[in-house]
């Protein structure tokens, strides 16, 4: 399939997300007058992003070059690879290509966002989408969701091979193994650049097969006896869901689903044939009271302890339909994502307090990763034999370790590129270098607002959360600038006013003095008055309390 090498133009490869971070995966490949995009994912906000719901990539570069974009190609249906699509497609309406399940999950997202005019294309492994300067080929992968693919981009300079998220599972739940043979064929044609998943590069050996989880679940279900079983897992881990359902049917239990994302994924997966569950097995969550505890399995979201997730609400007795009680068996079938350890620990503690038995990854084999460990990564390097290598999908330490692994396998260090988000790698059949940068960063989504929360808003939110707010209201005469009413002071999150009368009286005295000085000097400009009130009051409050609340003066003219 290799195209004839007759052009010395440079191919540009750049990441708009997914480098030096987990999530927000988005890779851009540009050649001549065409651009293709691989994945469009989101990430979840860091602790200091107060009130932010999700984080998506900055697509400024794509907006400027939207006429060149030929499509977005999806490796698989996880949120960190498809979650940003609705926001991006509102600005750049281009065709989307992906395997059947990926497109099914995307359709649900677009429907929620009322996007009905997007051209969605279902592709199958080994199918090739032909453009003028690219031929884009999907290749079967194994991961923690069905229909995962790697992507080979054929150009007249060579092949760019993007592994996507993968592991090499020789006994997958659906029996559909990774297409290693095709990767060997690509190697013979000539892989110019490989971008590879770096998530588990720090783990030696091989990642265990998803089938090993079945044995752990079987043991727990067998010992549960008369207990109600509640299993928390990632909604997108359909192979895990299938194993839980298989266990429920084996032990004659009914299955109820909790959590909006879980209900959506189960619905799509059943409709498309990726999840097999008998009609008599599945019951509505509202009907669980009709069954004995020994007849029930509840599958729920909330493996990361997210405060609004179904499991967290169950643990804190805020769930409308499920109340945790003594004797319940709660299985948390997932690893904590780095940074979420405290959240999930809190949920586990609350579950124990309510008398539940909690089984999590530290004490049972009930989770395996969907990402390749060191030996699998070595194998993919040996199979693909790329000329150049760019570690992808991971924090900096992961990218660095993956680069070292490639060197250990004999690749020259000058052919390995540990890049930052926004770096542009320019390459042709003979050479590669990081040549420039493009604008990039985070776009914060808060409710219906996309990008309207920036650093200044986050700084103000942080200030408010740490120091509180003091509002000063003064009414002055429009004619001569004299004070007609106030100052009135409203405090929120700073001090309790009724117990701090001396402090409030002193603050009012400071404000009155500022207003008097300005009146004597015949100063009526609002900006000057507000600034003087703010500065003098700030100094007074800090001297008295060693705190710096946000001060908001409001001046009304009548």
Catalytic residues: 197, 371
User: Is 369 known as a binding-site position?
Assistant: yes
**DSSP class per residue in 202-269:** TS-S-PPPTHHHHHHHHHHHHHTTT--EEEE--TT-HHHHHHHHHHHHHTT-EEEEESHHHHHHHHHH
Rounded to an integer, what distance in angstroms lies between the CA atom of residue 524 and that of residue 418?
A: 58
User: Is 536 known as a binding-site position?
Assistant: no
Rounded to an integer, what distance in angstroms lies between the CA atom of residue 314 and that of residue 321?
A: 9
Rounded to an integer, what distance in angstroms lies between the CA atom of residue 342 and that of residue 47?
A: 12
CB 186 within 8 A of CB 379: no
User: Is 413 known as a binding-site position?
Assistant: no
How long a stretch of residues is the chain? Answer: 558
| Sign of the alpha-carbon torsion through 56, 60, 63, 69 | negative
User: Is 371 known as a binding-site position?
Assistant: yes
User: Is 446 known as a binding-site position?
Assistant: yes
User: Is 477 known as a binding-site position?
Assistant: no
Rounded to an integer, what distance in angstroms lies between the CA atom of residue 516 and that of residue 510?
A: 10
Rounded to an integer, what distance in angstroms lies between the CA atom of residue 106 and that of residue 97?
A: 10
User: Is 143 known as a binding-site position?
Assistant: yes
Q: Helices 374-384 and 396-408: crossing angle, nearest 10°?
A: 60
Q: Helices 526-545 and 501-520: crossing angle, nearest 10°?
A: 150
The number of angstroms, rounded, from the C-alpha of 536 to the middle of its chain's C-alpha atoms is: 44
CA atoms within 13 A on the CB side of 294: 4
User: Is 154 known as a binding-site position?
Assistant: no
User: Is 335 known as a binding-site position?
Assistant: no
Rounded to an integer, what distance in angstroms lies between the CA atom of residue 259 and that of residue 300?
A: 6
Rounded to an integer, what distance in angstroms lies between the CA atom of residue 152 and that of residue 157?
A: 13
User: Is 181 known as a binding-site position?
Assistant: no
User: Is 467 known as a binding-site position?
Assistant: no
For 412, list phi and psi in degrees, rounded to 5.
Answer: -60, 140
User: Is 235 known as a binding-site position?
Assistant: yes
User: Is 305 known as a binding-site position?
Assistant: no
CB 328 within 8 A of CB 320: no
User: Is 80 known as a binding-site position?
Assistant: yes
CB 39 within 8 A of CB 27: yes
User: Is 51 known as a binding-site position?
Assistant: yes
Q: How many CB atoms are located within 10 Å of the residue 338 CB?
A: 8
**DSSP class per residue in 441-473:** -EEEEETTEEEEE-HHHHHHHHHHHHH-EEEEE
**Binding-site entries for Zn(2+):** 76, 78, 80-81, 143, 165, 393
**Binding-site entries for substrate:** 235-237, 367-371
């Amino acid at each position: 399939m290799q195209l004839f090498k007759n052009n010395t133009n440079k191919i540009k490869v750049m990441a708009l997300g997914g480098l030096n971070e987990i999530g927000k995966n988005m890779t851009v490949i540009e050649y001549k007058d065409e651009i293709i995009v691989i994945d469009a994912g989101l990430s979840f906000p860091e602790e200091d992003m107060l009130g932010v719901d999700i984080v998506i990539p900055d697509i400024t570069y794509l907006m400027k070059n939207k006429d060149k974009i030929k499509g977005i190609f999806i490796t698989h249906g996880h949120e960190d690879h498809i979650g940003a699509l609705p926001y991006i497609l509102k600005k750049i309406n281009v065709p989307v290509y992906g395997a059947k399940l990926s497109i099914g999950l995307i359709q649900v997202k677009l429907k929620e966002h009322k996007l009905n005019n997007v051209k969605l294309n279902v592709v199958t492994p080994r199918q090739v989408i032909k453009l003028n300067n690219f031929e884009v080929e999907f290749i079967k992968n194994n991961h923690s969701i069905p229909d995962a693919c790697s992507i080979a981009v054929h150009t007249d300079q060579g092949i760019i091979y993007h592994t996507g998220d993968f592991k090499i599972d020789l006994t997958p739940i659906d029996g559909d193994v990774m297409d290693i043979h095709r990767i060997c064929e690509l190697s013979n044609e000539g892989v110019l650049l490989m971008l590879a998943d770096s998530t588990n590069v720090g783990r030696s050996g091989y990642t265990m097969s998803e089938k090993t989880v079945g044995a752990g679940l079987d043991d727990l279900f067998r010992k549960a006896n008369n207990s109600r079983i509640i299993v928390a897992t990632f909604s997108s881990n359909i192979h895990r869901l299938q194993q839980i359902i298989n266990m429920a049917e084996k032990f004659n239990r009914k299955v109820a689903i909790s959590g909006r994302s879980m209900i959506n994924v189960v619905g799509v997966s059943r409709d498309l044939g990726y999840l097999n569950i008998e009609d008599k097995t599945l019951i509505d969550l509202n009907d669980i009271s009709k069954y004995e505890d020994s007849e029930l399995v509840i599958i729920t979201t909330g493996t990361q302890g997210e405060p609004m997730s179904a499991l967290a609400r169950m643990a804190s007795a805020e769930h409308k339909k499920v109340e945790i009680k003594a004797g319940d068996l709660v299985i948390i079938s997932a690893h904590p994502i780095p940074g979420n350890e405290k959240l999930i620990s809190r949920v586990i503690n609350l579950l124990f307090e309510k008398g539940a038995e909690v089984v999590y990854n530290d004490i049972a084999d009930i989770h395996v990763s969907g990402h390749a460990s060191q030996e699998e990564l070595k194998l993919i390097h040996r199979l693909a034999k790329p000329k150049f290598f760019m570690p992808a999908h991971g924090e900096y330490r992961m990218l660095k370790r993956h680069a070292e692994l490639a060197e250990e396998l004999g690749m020259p260090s000058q052919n390995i590129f540990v890049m930052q988000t926004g770096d542009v790698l320019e390459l042709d059949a003979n050479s590669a270098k990081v040549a420039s940068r493009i604008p990039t960063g985070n776009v914060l989504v808060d409710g219906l607002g996309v990008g309207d929360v920036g650093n200044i808003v986050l700084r103000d939110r942080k200030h408010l959360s740490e120091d509180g707010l003091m509002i000063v209201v003064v009414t002055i005469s429009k004619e001569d600038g004299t004070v007609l009413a106030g100052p009135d002071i409203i405090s929120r999150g700073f001090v309790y006013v009724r117990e701090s009368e001396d402090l409030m009286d002193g603050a009012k005295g400071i404000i009155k003095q500022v207003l008097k000085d300005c009146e004597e000097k015949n100063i009526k400009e609002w900006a000057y008055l507000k600034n003087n009130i703010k500065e003098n009051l700030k100094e007074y409050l800090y001297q008295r309390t060693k705190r710096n609340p946000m001060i908001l003066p409001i001046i009304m003219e009548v």
